[in-house]
């Protein structure tokens, strides 16, 4: 596996095209079919992508409107985005039917597997003691996985959340440093030792180890965790109201 390599390729590509893209005066997230067709071409994808452009355009429009009424699947170009849009620390990854998120895969430092696994307990305890400790991150789900390739162990950190990539990472750093806790990332190869004071280096590590999805699906797409909680609260309130009417 060469996540590092992938990251660097993307970054080079990004740096190489940033100026042109900035000059192109891109407006708000693509909406019309023409715009989507253009983006499919601009990322150098195949005929298949162009044929899909109408679906893509509809999905982007549904994402903008937060249309959850029917399930949706989105195929994502290998760069991880349709059009290059500059965020604060790098390209912006699009909102998909499974909202925002990332999948970070990195090699665990030799002999650290158990420490990484133990970190699961740390988070379990932190959330049990203070249930809203991770609330600033606007998460739906976290999935942490350890797996082996040959004799090496890899860590996969998959998060699904409702804020953009850079804001998530920045908020996570502030959360960890303020709580005075270490991060599981410290057990990963290539992670910057000065992460607590060097936000750009932390963000760079995350971006370099991010493996963008090529498919994301949502049974109730584009809905934020806050909206889900609101809906459940309404349901609970309604059922309580009906109880009171008996």
Question: Is residue 17 within the footprint of other proteins (CB under 8 A)?
Answer: no
Stretch near other proteins under the rule CB under 8 A, chosen from 22-30, 47-55, 72-80, 183-191: 22-30
Window 96-135: residues binding other proteins (CB under 8 A): none
Residue 170 binds other proteins (CB under 8 A): yes
Stretch that binds other proteins, among 54-62, 102-110, 121-129, 163-171 (CB under 8 A): 163-171
Choose between 52 and 169: whose C-beta lies nearer to other proteins.
169
State yes or no: residue 33 binds other proteins (CB under 8 A): no
* CA-to-CA dists, residue 174 to 66, 171, 182, angstroms: 29, 5, 12
Q: At closest approach, how far in Å is the CB of 10 from other proteins?
A: 17
Closest to 90 in 3D by CA, of 99, 77, 80, 100: 80
Q: Which stretch binds other proteins (CB under 8 A): 7-15, 113-121, 167-175, 182-190?
A: 167-175
In the shown chain, the binding pattern of residues 207 to 236 toward other proteins, with x for contact by CB under 8 A and - for none, equals: -----------------x-xx---------
Distance CA 81, CA 43 (A): 9
Distance from the Cα of residue 12 to its chain's centroid: 21
Count residues near other proteins (CB under 8 A). 36
CB-CB contact of 224 with 99 (8 Å): yes
Sign of the Cα torsion 94, 98, 99, 104 reads negative
Q: Tokens 């960890």 correspond to what residue?
A: 176
Report the residue from 14, 17, 76, 85 that binds other proteins according to the rule CB under 8 A.
85
Q: Nearest distance from residue 98's CB to other proteins, in Å?
A: 15
Nearer to other proteins, 50 or 171 (CB): 171
Closest approach of Cβ 215 to other proteins, in Å? 23
H or E segment to which residue 146 belongs: strand 139-149
- Give the residue ranges of DSSP H helices in 24-112: 33-42, 47-51, 53-65
Burial per residue of 178-212, b for 16 or more beta-carbon CB atoms within 10 angstroms, e otherwise: eeeeebbbebbeebbeebeeebeebbbbbbbbbbb
Question: Is 88 an interacting residue with respect to other proteins (CB under 8 A)?
Answer: yes
Q: State which of residues 20, 174, 215, 236 lies at the interface with other proteins (CB under 8 A).
A: 174
Cα Rg of the chain, angstroms = 20
Among the listed residues 32, 66, 71, 120, the single contact to other proteins using CB under 8 A: 66
Residues 6+ apart with CB under 8 A from 169: 89, 202, 203, 206
Q: Which residues bind other proteins (CB under 8 A)?
A: 18-19, 21-22, 25-28, 64-66, 85-89, 136, 162-164, 167, 170-171, 174-175, 177-178, 194, 196-200, 224, 226-227
């Amino acid at each position: 596996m060469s996540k590092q390599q992938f990251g660097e390729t993307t970054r080079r590509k990004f740096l190489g095209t940033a100026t042109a893209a900035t000059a192109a005066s891109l407006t708000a997230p693509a909406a019309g079919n023409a715009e989507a067709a253009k983006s499919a071409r601009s990322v150098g994808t195949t005929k298949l992508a162009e044929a899909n452009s109408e679906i893509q355009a509809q999905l982007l429009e549904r994402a903008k409107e937060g249309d959850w009424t029917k399930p949706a699947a989105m195929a994502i170009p290998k760069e991880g985005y349709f059009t290059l849009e500059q965020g604060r620390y790098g390209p912006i990854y699009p909102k998909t039917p499974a909202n925002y998120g990332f999948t970070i895969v990195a090699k665990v430092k030799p002999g650290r597997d158990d420490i990484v696994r133990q970190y699961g307990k740390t988070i379990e305890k932190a959330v049990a003691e203070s249930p809203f400790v991770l609330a600033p991150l606007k998460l739906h789900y976290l999935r942490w996985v350890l797996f082996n390739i040959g004799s090496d162990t890899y860590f996969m950190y998959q998060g699904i959340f409702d804020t953009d990539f850079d804001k998530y990472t920045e908020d996570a750093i502030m959360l960890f440093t303020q709580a005075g806790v270490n991060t599981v990332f410290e057990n990963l190869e290539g992670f910057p030792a000065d992460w607590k004071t060097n936000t750009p280096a932390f963000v760079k590590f995350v971006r370099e180890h991010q493996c963008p999805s090529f498919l994301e699906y949502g049974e109730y797409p584009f809905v934020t965790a806050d909206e889900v909680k609101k809906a459940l609260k309404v349901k609970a309130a309604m059922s309580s109201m009906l109880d009171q009417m008996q």
